[in-house]
Amino acid sequence: MVASVTKSNPARLGNIHFSFPMFLLKYVRQLTCLFVAVCILTGQTLAEDGEFMEEFLKREYSLAKPYRGLGFSSSSQWDLMGTTVVTPDYVRLTPDQQSRQGAVWSRIPFILRDWELKVHFKIYGQGKKNLNGDGLAIWLTRDRMQNGPVYGSKNHFLGLGIFVDTYPNADKTHDRTFPYVSVMLGNGTLSYDHERDGRPTELGGCTAMARNAIYDTFLLVRYTKNRLTLMVDVDGKQEWRECADITGVRLPTGYFFGASSATGDLSDNHDIISMKLYQLTVDRTPEEDDEEEVTIPRVDNMQQFHVEVEEEGMSGVQLFFTILFSILGLGVLAVVGLMLYSRWKENKRKRFY
Ligand SMILES: [Ca+2]
């Protein structure tokens, strides 16, 4: 479009110059304005692309406009679930209505070792602050397309969950401002505790005023050499603010990207505009290259993480039955013992006669 404007106009301008000099001046001014505007816009896009390594964009793992056939055509790389609808401008996981659940899941198992995921999302609604909910989740997990209580997806998941929590369930805590973005690594037994806004299993997080924002809101998840960094850009500054940085994170490959959301008594529109996956090129030492692959996600040297796993050993119900059966067992043993003893005594008495 830009090229055609600059190409076709000099000839026309030449003709106009002789007959309508005033009109020409106006025309040149308009053209200059247009040219400057185009330059600024192009410059911004180029800067953005450079920063986020456009050359490594992996389209097969990305969700971006135009969403042609998204979730419907057999060639689509994504599946839709629940209340999710696709419009030309966004993928809406839930509308601003009560008790809705929606998700979008990649169909292709993810196999890259070093990567960056940039999520452009929008959360907005009629509710006043803290009278809205519940938020949305970005996933990289083993299981896909499963309903559940964690922002519309299953609990006890295996893999990575990034939560944009817009409602303070543990409202008496007052230790943080919502919306709050947090990271959790699930190993299949860890449980996301909604009533405590995920505090027991949180690896890191930050406040991000991403709801009803007048700016575009973004999340960036970077995973390289077992280091997971979460960044946010929600206040229109076009720069990333660090939100969480966790080392020693071991993630298996073959998992699926997804996004999900749920509303309850309180609601919001939860929209995904894009999820762009970039492959990162990273130099590795031979040892780093030979690193064995894990089958269950874990975090090295993280006491909390290991304690949580071990605590899952015995539930209250299991403990009750263990004690009950132990007592019953001892009782039976005592009765048998008494019977044997009395029989032995009887025999002994008989031998004396
Ligand atoms: Ca919450």
Separation of 185 CA from ligand 1 center, angstroms? 17
Separation of 150 CA from ligand 1 center, angstroms? 10
In this structure, of 85-99, 168-182, 185-199, 245-259, the range with the lowest mean pLDDT score is 168-182
Separation of 194 CA from ligand 1 center, angstroms? 6
Separation of 287 CA from ligand 1 center, angstroms? 41
Cα(5)–Cα(3) distance, rounded to whole angstroms? 5
Separation of 165 CA from ligand 1 center, angstroms? 5
- Nearest Cα neighbor of 231 from 42, 109, 52 is 52
125-134, 256-265, 294-303, range with greatest mean pLDDT: 256-265
What pLDDT, in 10s, does the model give residues 33-85?
Answer: 455 444 444 444 444 443 444 458 999 999 999 999 999 999 999 999 999 99
Separation of 161 CA from ligand 1 center, angstroms? 14
98 — phi, psi (to 5°)?
A: -70, 155
Sequence letter at residue 296? I
Separation of 208 CA from ligand 1 center, angstroms? 14
* Beta pairing class for 204-207 and 180-187: antiparallel
The neighbour count for residue 235, using CB atoms within 10 Å, is 15
What pLDDT, in 10s, does the model give residues 255-278?
Answer: 999 999 999 999 999 999 999 999
Separation of 154 CA from ligand 1 center, angstroms? 16
Q: Who wins on pLDDT, 19 or 243?
A: 243
Dihedral over alpha carbons 246, 148, 91, 263 (to 10 degrees): -100
pLDDT given for residue 9 in this prediction: 38
Residue with tokens 């309508």: 20
pLDDT given for residue 34 in this prediction: 52
Separation of 126 CA from ligand 1 center, angstroms? 18
In this structure, of 52-61, 180-189, 245-254, the range with the lowest mean pLDDT score is 52-61
Average pLDDT, the chain: 84
What pLDDT, in 10s, does the model give residues 20-43?
Answer: 455 445 555 555 545 544 444 444
Separation of 277 CA from ligand 1 center, angstroms? 27
Q: In the chain, pLDDT over 70 holds for what percent of residues?
A: 80
Is 80 exceeded by the pLDDT of residue 156? yes
Separation of 261 CA from ligand 1 center, angstroms? 12
Model confidence, pTM: 0.72
Separation of 62 CA from ligand 1 center, angstroms? 27
Separation of 60 CA from ligand 1 center, angstroms? 32
Separation of 78 CA from ligand 1 center, angstroms? 27
Pick 54-305's CATH classification: 2.60.120.200, 1.20.1090.10, 3.40.50.720, 3.40.1030.10. Answer: 2.60.120.200
Is 90 exceeded by the pLDDT of residue 100? yes
Cα(318)–Cα(162) distance, rounded to whole angstroms? 32
